Homo-oligomer: A and B are copies of this chain.
């Protein structure tokens, strides 16, 4: 497929917003613009972005070319390069290669977060690849072989090879055990543990009411997770909350 043809490929976009700070994982606190794609092959019980997942919201999604997306990113960021966060839904099911190449040429870097259910060669062109397999509380099942293929694709593809991390949401002890197992299976990947938000926004509501969270409950779960992790002597793990949730609740666009 020629470069030109790739540029014709359309990416299904739920929202593009920022700059704000990345609220999770390895780039926490770093200014970023979010490019959120629409559509997902998973349906996690506690999904906090159903508006980018459930096809009942597809009327709100837009088909955009890589050029159009980069133009919007450049507009929002005032043309000053930063790391773009590709999120979803599952952004791995969209044709992202041209966007990454175009962005790189303009000085932008890319991180992408996916559950690791689909491996793509272009993962290797990312700066950071966050693999976020879903624990038992999600109701989903992990295909560990495909997750391994994601790591291999990122390492052996045509790009410079990204930093690859595992990020696992933990709601309870079963999730914690799952995270430990994942850490053992992928011993060479840094593990980030993140307490879950048990008060995700309802898919059908917007505004102030939908933005409300159980702050005390979220902080309580974070304290438990810190305690659980250090009590185990799991000193290579990193434990971080969803910073944006603490700052802005479930509000969208920040």
Q: Which residues of A contact B (CB under 8 A)?
A: 18-21, 28-31, 77-78, 80-82, 192, 219, 222-223, 226, 229-230, 233-235, 237-241, 243, 246-248
Distance of A171 Cα from B128 Cα, bound (Å)? 32
- A78 to chain B: closest residue by CB: B233
Contact yes or no, A240 B29, CB < 8 A = yes
Chain A, interface SS category: mixed
Contact yes or no, A234 B192, CB < 8 A = no
Contact yes or no, B240 A219, CB < 8 A = no
Contact yes or no, A226 B28, CB < 8 A = no
What residues of B have a CB within 8 angstroms of the CB of A237 in the complex? 31
Contact yes or no, B235 A82, CB < 8 A = yes
Contact yes or no, B21 A230, CB < 8 A = yes
Min distance, Cβ A237 to any Cβ of chain B, angstroms: 7
Min distance, Cβ A61 to any Cβ of chain B, angstroms: 26
Distance of A30 Cα from B21 Cα, bound (Å)? 20
